[in-house]
Structure 1
Amino acid sequence: MKAFFGTLGFSILSAVVPIFNVEVYLVALATQIPKSAALPVAIAAGAGQALGKVLWYHGTQKSLQLPWMRKRMESERWKNSFDRWEKRIEARPRLAAAFMFSSALVGAPPLLVMGAIAGALRFNMTMYVTTIFVGRSIQSWVILAGLTSLFH
């Protein structure tokens, strides 16, 4: 239970402050937990990462309201690029979800960047949270299950 809530908390922190690396945390934790705890702890890691990235999503949306950002967005080039990407996401929500899932699962493109982009382009929140939760849970489970098998 301690590993579950500790992982949830650390994962939220890691999602918001990238210097705290959740993968390194999971590697260390794998030496301390039994194999049977790998799945629940992986789910906690996925949930924490998804919750933390919601802060990036909303933070980006709020930052677009700042005066200096609004001024930058007034340029024709910026507006055209922004509108083009927004239309792409609206037209192909499954493709956008696939990119977000890839980012959550393997980190390419970086999830931090994708979280900011998703907020700016108003990516569907349910799909955003779900893809991050599932992708990060799978990634965390692979790390934990693999390493707990080695250590125990």
Structure 2
Amino acid sequence: MKAFFGTLGFSILSAVVPVFNVEVYLVALATQIPRSAALPVAIAAGAGQALGKVLWYHGTAKSMELPWMKRRMESEKWKRSFAKWQNRIEERPRLAAAFMFSSSLVGFPPLLVMGAIAGALRFRMSMYVATIFVGRTLQSWAILAGLTHLFH
């Protein structure tokens, strides 16, 4: 139970403050938990990462309303570019979900960057959270299941 809640907390911290690396934490944790704990702990890691990235989403979305950002966005070039990307996301929600899932599962494009883009372009929150949760849970389970199998 400590591993579950500890992982949940560390994963939230890791999602918000990138210097705290959840993958390194999971590698270390895999030496301490039994194989049977790999899935529940992976779920905690996925949930924590998804919750933490919601802060990045909202932070970026709110930053778009700041006066200095609004001034930057006044140029016609910026407006056209932003509208183009926003339309692409709205017209192809599955493509946006695929990028978010790829980002959360394998880290390409980087999830921190995708979180900021998602907030700026206002991705659907349900898609954003679900793809991060599933991708990070699978990634965490692969790390934990593989290493607990080696260590125990």
TM over 0.5: yes
Shift of 1:85: 0.3
> 2:55 aligns to what?
55
TM-score, normalisation: structure 1: 0.99
Name segments (4+ residues, structure 1) moved above 6 Å: none
Amino acid at match of 1:46: G
- Which residue of 2 is the match for residue 43 of structure 1? 43
How much does 1:75 deviate? 1.0
What are the Cα deviations for residues 54-104 of structure 1, in whole angstroms up to 9, with x where unaligned? 000000011111111110011111111100000000000001000000000
Aligned to 2:9: 9
Question: Match for residue 142 of structure 2?
Answer: 142
Q: Provide the residue aligned with 1:132 in structure 2.
A: 132
Deviation at 1:42, TM superposition (A): 0.1
Secondary structure, in 3 states, of the residue corresponding to 1:109? coil
TM-score normalized with structure 2 length: 0.99
Look up the SS of the partner of 1:71 in the other structure: helix
CA RMSD for the aligned pairs? 0.4
Match of 1:97 in 2: 97
1:41-120 to 2 correspondences below 5 Å: 41-120=41-120
Unaligned runs of 5+ in 2: none
Partner of 2:151: 151
Aligned pairs, how many?
152
User: How far apart are 1:44 and its partner, in Å?
Assistant: 0.1
Q: Distance in 2 between matches of 1:135 and 1:77?
A: 35
